[in-house]
Structure formats: structure tokens, C-alpha cells
Structure 1
Amino acid sequence: MTSVKEFLVDREPTADSPGAGRFAFTDDYSVFDWGKMPDPIPGKGASLCTMGAYNFERLEAAGVPTHYRGVGADAAPLAAVDDPPRELAVDLVQVPELPFRGDGDGYDYDAFHADAGSNYLVPLEIVFRNTVPVGSSLRRRADPRDVGVDRDDWPAGPVDLPEPVVEFSTKYEEQDRYLDRAEADRIAGAADVADLEALARRVNDVVTARAADAGFVHEDGKIECASVDGDVVVADVVGTFDENRFAYGGQEVSKEVVRQHYKREHPDWVDAVSDAKARADREGVADWRGLCSASPPPLSADIVDAVADMYAAGANAYTGTDWFDAPGIDAAVDRVRDL
């Protein structure tokens, strides 16, 4: 299904009825939309699954509708298992093909929705931002005053936003695009963007509150949603170190650590990715990776180990349970500060 999760189907969804299945989390990761990178991060999949289940159960307790059913093949509650899970049991909805028309016409969302039926995965990511950290794409797309920050230029460090900002981006295109509200509404189909935004804000509130209790700052994140008989529910996975950016003691604790490492240590590859995406846009093709002149170098063993400890220690601290044999969060964060 994705570069970091496998997709297990127990009951196929139909045009009229959701199905059931599981996300099986791997230890792979992706940065800059590349897909599967050269190195797995040991234990990463279990940490994401555990955090995802923990957050889904908090959302359900807060009255936020989700597609979550439990963990493992038996769809058990998280409290019922002894070891960190790797499978998230969920309701499944249809995911139609999104054709690429080419010749400057882009993607055919009319065809997508013609096959969607009454339950489908909304082809959008709904992004919420509480701060503007280093590496945030918002710095390239908006001036500080556009989002309520009283200054003319972005500073070198993170910036707190006076109110959370919600944005919409594409989900199934080869390159993510941020959308204005009108285009997001068109792409969403039967799902209303006002409902999607409201759901994202509720998720943000729940995750931000838990992060603060555990000593983290919740900087930004995203949700995906399913439309089921006209109602929207939170889908995919929520509030992990891959979907969201957190900080602890002023240090990023998320996939952003690896992203920034590649920017510092392997800028030629990062530049090659940017050039390939730009060329794909100019030539009206979907597969930019085929145009890329370089492949990502592997990480060193000590970096893989440090990032693995960050995921495990972070999951322990966020959930308040020692699921993983890992250093304390302070030690794990100190280790990744200079990567």
C-alpha cells in the first residue's frame, strides 16, 4: 500500500459497504517522497503501530470517529496485548484508481469518484500546523504575516502560530500539491472540506494535549479521512513520528531528523530529487523518480541505531508505557541532536 506499511485484507470493501483489514507496519521509511529508502530502522514499525493505536483509542474516547478496530488479527484493545503490536486492525473503504491523463491535463478525479461508491478514501491529506519548524514547507509558500505571525521574515528557528493553520494537499499524486480550498473541495468529492477541517482540528487538539502531558511539543501533523455513507471518519494512522512532527527539549523527534540529515550530509541527492520533480512538472509526466539522476546513499550504522532509539524511546514516553527496551527519552534525544 505504501513504502512503510503492508496491507492485509480480511474482507473486501464494496461500493455499498466497508470491509475489514489490517495495516502491517514495516521498519522501512521514506523521505522526500522517494519511497522505500536503503536502510530499515529496527523497531520503527512497532513504535508507529503502538503510537497509532494509542492515539486512535484516545480519539475514540474523545468522541472522534475513526476507522480503528484494534490491534492484531483479533482487533484487540491495546491494553489487552503484552508486546508492542505491528498490525493495526481497521475498517476498509474503496480506493479507486486515480488515472493520470498527461498532456497538461493532470489527474482524472472525475474517474476516481465515478468508481468510489458510497465509501471511499478521500484523496486528500489534511495538514494542521501549530508551529512552523525548520524544514516546514510553509516557509516556502507563505510569508509570516499570511498566517498571523507579526514579522516580515521567517527566523532560523521554529515559530509558534497564534492559531493552528489547516491546509489541504493531494494524497495519490506522484508529487504532493498544496491546494486552495475550492480545488480541495472538488477533489474531496462527496466529503465536505468544512467537515474535514473540523475533524483535523479535533485530532490536533487531542494529540497536542497528550504531547504536552508527555513533555513534547506537537508542531504539525496530518490526517487522512474516509467518507462512509456521507460521514467522514479519521483513517490511515494518526499521531506518530512519521505522520506528525514533535519536539522534545528543543530537538525534533520525528522522521524530520533523517530528512534534515540528508539535507546536510547528502545535498547532491536532495538536489537531484528536486530537479527530477521540477522536470516532471515541465514535461507533464507522473513518474519523477525515473528522471532522477541519483539514488539515496545508505545511512551509517550508528545513525540507524540512534534513530531506532529515538522512535522506541519516544513511543515509550508518549504512551507512558515501557513497550520497548530503549534508553530514556532524554538520552535518546541527546543522541540525535547532531545527526
Structure 2
Amino acid sequence: MTSVKEFRVEREPTATTLGRGSFVFTDDYSVFDWGKMPDEIPDKGASLCAMGAFNFELLEDEGVPTHYRGVVNSEARRASDSRAAEPRDDSDTGEVVPLAEADAPPTEMAIELTQVPDLPHEGRDYDYDAYHDEAGDNYLIPLEVVFRNSVPVGSSLRRRTDPADHGLDFEEWPEGVVQLEEPIVEFSTKYEEGDRYLTRREADRIAGLADIEELESVAREVNRVVTERAAEAELVHEDGKIECCYFDGEVRVADVVGTFDENRFTFHGQQVSKEFVRQYHKRTQPEWVEAVEAAKQEAKARNVADWKSLCEASPEPLDGEVVAAARDLYAAGTNAYVGRELFDAPALEDAVAVVRNL
């Protein structure tokens, strides 16, 4: 369960077999690790599902292993649900189809399931040995693999590292955006309450049986595929992340790939991603954003995992015009990226112009 998508579980995974299930995408959104925010963005769930499915199918064409099975055809799902007395496997009802065969923008993605053991912790000390003892050799790797094609002014990379750490020919970070000739790949924690970036040695230990070099190689290939596709839609792919599972000695791409929530894209310099909503909150609700940061720092100082209970403010709902603009941005961006009019939405150029003026 996440803040913006839910699970259907049809068959549980075991130590030696993958399970089956699906992600059900909602119109909820989350910024600054808050979890579910007070509003919904219409069609956001379908946008993420469609982009994720499209990218998984691109990756499969390139020979990259994934946990993706297809999308659940909404019309077929409703017909099947009305007839079925008991839950049954989607593949037996013919409901799982490639994106191109979906009758409408899908909100459910069929996937293979791996094991996700509990990650015990005391305060901010997490027991990854216990995680892997229970996981065996069929598990979700408790890492996020982050790739960056540029380093914007506000990037955490500037605070944590020097240009020389990445082979860049600067004594210090320049004032403007740094465009990278080669992507920078980093690793961060997945299941800790406050995610943190890791050294390669730390990441290698947390990855368990999975090979850290293979993880990096897969991330670079995903980045290449998404970057090239984005360029065809006049989008610039700035950065993103992947999550992976390990099964039968192989790293497979999991979760969702290359969407406007997992990745940052720009169109002629304007953000076309969740980053737009993040920046809008920074401008219009700075007290809440500052309270979130203060709570995270206090939790770190106290060595406790739950920072949200220490936060002294809560976010306010967005204005209706902002919700509408965000909806059009997600929908228009998805249409442009997949090269198909899945949604009734303005041209991407027009959607971006509205957001730029907010």
C-alpha cells in the first residue's frame, strides 16, 4: 500500500514463486513525503498507470526484465466483476491486455508480486539482516536507484557532494543548471521513515543477494529508454528513479517506471511532473513546508522514525483552478508521451502555458 496506489492480491508470492496481483492507481497525490494530501487530481491515476504501462512495454521490447503483465481493461473488469461469485485470476478472464488494447485510460496494472518482509527497527536503526533472512532469494530490493541527467539549483546533490565526486570539471557547483554528459546514479533507502542517500558500500549491503553493478546497469538502461522516448514528445527527462525485485538470480524492474510522479520532465523549461505541485506548495504554503522540514530534523535529532507526528502544521487544499491545471498537465503530458489521445485534454503547450501563469 502506498499513498497514491493500492494493491489487489490474487496469489501471494512464496520463497520460490512469484505471486500475482495489480496496482490500483488513485487520484491522490503526495509531496514532501506527507502521504495523502487533502485534494485529488482528476485522471492522475490513469495518467500514471498509462505512462507506467507504456514504459514497461518499451523496456520489454529492449529486453529489460520487469514485473509487468499488462493493464486491466476497465470495461472487461466491470463485466467480469458483475458475473463473478468469487475473485479470480485476471489472466483467466482475458482482462489483462497491452496498453494499446485498453478500451479506456486504465487505472489498474497487472504485475507479478515478490516478497516484501517487514524491516524491523529501533528508532532510526534498521535491521536489514533480518529483512534478508526472511526474504531469501525472492524479494523487493529495499533500495531506490536514482539517476540524474541534470543538476538543478535546488538539487540535494549540491549539498551532499562536490562536482569532483562525479568527475565534473568544476571546483564548485555553478549557479545555473548543470547538464550532464553522463547520468549520475545514486542509491537511497526505500523503507526507512526518512529516506537517506547511501555510499555504494552501504547500498551493496542493503541490496542483499542482488548485485549493485547490475542494479546500476539496469537503471542506466531505463534512463536511456525514457530519455529517448521523452525527446520524441519534446520533453526533457531531467531525473528519475527505479525500484527492483530480485528473483531467480535476476534483477527485474518493479513498481512503476517513468511517470510524472517518479521522474521529472520539462517542456520548454517548464516542469511537467509532480515537481510543479511541490513548487506551488513552496510558494503558497511556505509555513507548512518549513514545518515539515523542521519535523524531519527534530525526528533525526531524537533518533525516532515518525517525523509526521512532530509536525505542527498540515497542508491546506489547493484552489480549484490549480487542481484543474494539474489535471490538464498530467493528461496532456501523458497524451504527448504515449503518442495517443488517451485523455480529453488540451495540447501540452497550452496546458504548460496555464501552469506557467499560476
Indicate if the aligned counterparts of 1:67 and 1:234 stay in contact, CA closer than 8 A.
Answer: yes
Give the one of 120, 126, 131 matched to 1:107: 126
In 2: Cα distance, 1:155 partner to 1:75 partner: 49
In 2: Cα distance, 1:23 partner to 1:279 partner: 34
2:208 pairs with 1:189 = yes
Indicate if the aligned counterparts of 1:20 and 1:90 stay in contact, CA closer than 8 A.
Answer: yes
Which structure 2 residues correspond to residues 317-328 of structure 1 after superposition, within 5 A? 317-328=336-347
Runs (5+) with no aligned partner, structure 2: 73-89
Indicate if the aligned counterparts of 1:98 and 1:112 stay in contact, CA closer than 8 A.
Answer: yes
In 2: Cα distance, 1:240 partner to 1:41 partner: 15
Q: Measure how far apart 1:335 and its partner are.
A: 1.0
The equivalent residue for 1:297 is: 316
The list of structure 1 runs, each at least 4 consecutive aligned residues, that deviate by more than 4 angstroms after superposition, is none
2:243 pairs with 1:220 = no
Give the one of 184, 204, 221 matched to 2:223: 204
Number of matched residues? 337
Which structure 2 residues correspond to residues 27-46 of structure 1 after superposition, within 5 A? 27-46=27-46
Letter aligned with residue 101 of structure 1? E
> What SS does the aligned partner of 1:209 have?
helix
The equivalent residue for 1:96 is: 117
The equivalent residue for 1:10 is: 10
The equivalent residue for 2:77 is: none
Letter aligned with residue 44 of structure 2? K
The equivalent residue for 2:83 is: none
In 2: Cα distance, 1:307 partner to 1:147 partner: 35
TM-score normalised to the size of structure 1? 0.97
Which structure 2 residues correspond to residues 62-73 of structure 1 after superposition, within 5 A? 62-72=62-72, 73=90
In 1: Cα distance, 2:216 partner to 2:256 partner: 17
Give the one of 263, 268, 281 matched to 2:282: 263
Letter aligned with residue 98 of structure 1? L
In 2: Cα distance, 1:12 partner to 1:334 partner: 46
Runs (5+) with no aligned partner, structure 1: none
The equivalent residue for 2:330 is: 311
In 1: Cα distance, 2:148 partner to 2:221 partner: 13
In 2: Cα distance, 1:280 partner to 1:71 partner: 40
Letter aligned with residue 88 of structure 1? M
Q: Kindly provide the CA deviation profile for residues 262-291 of structure 1, in whole angstroms up to 9, marking residues without a partner as x.
A: 112111111111111111111111110001
Q: Does the C-alpha gap of structure 1 residues 128 and 4 become closer, same or farther in structure 2, counting only changes over 3 Å?
A: same
**For structure 1, which segment, 177-186 or 69-78, has the greater mean C-alpha deviation from structure 2 after superposition?**
69-78
TM-score normalised to the size of structure 2? 0.92
| Bigger Cα Rg | 2
Give the one of 277, 297, 300 matched to 1:281: 300
The equivalent residue for 2:103 is: 82
Indicate if the aligned counterparts of 1:149 and 1:162 stay in contact, CA closer than 8 A.
Answer: no
In 1: Cα distance, 2:229 partner to 2:283 partner: 32
Q: Kindly provide the CA deviation profile for residues 237-261 of structure 1, in whole angstroms up to 9, marking residues without a partner as x.
A: 0000000000101111100001111
Q: Kindly provide the CA deviation profile for residues 34-75 of structure 1, in whole angstroms up to 9, marking residues without a partner as x.
A: 111111100000000000000000000011110000001422
> What SS does the aligned partner of 1:293 have?
coil
The equivalent residue for 1:162 is: 181
Indicate if the aligned counterparts of 1:148 and 1:162 stay in contact, CA closer than 8 A.
Answer: no
Q: Measure how far apart 1:152 and its partner are.
A: 4.2
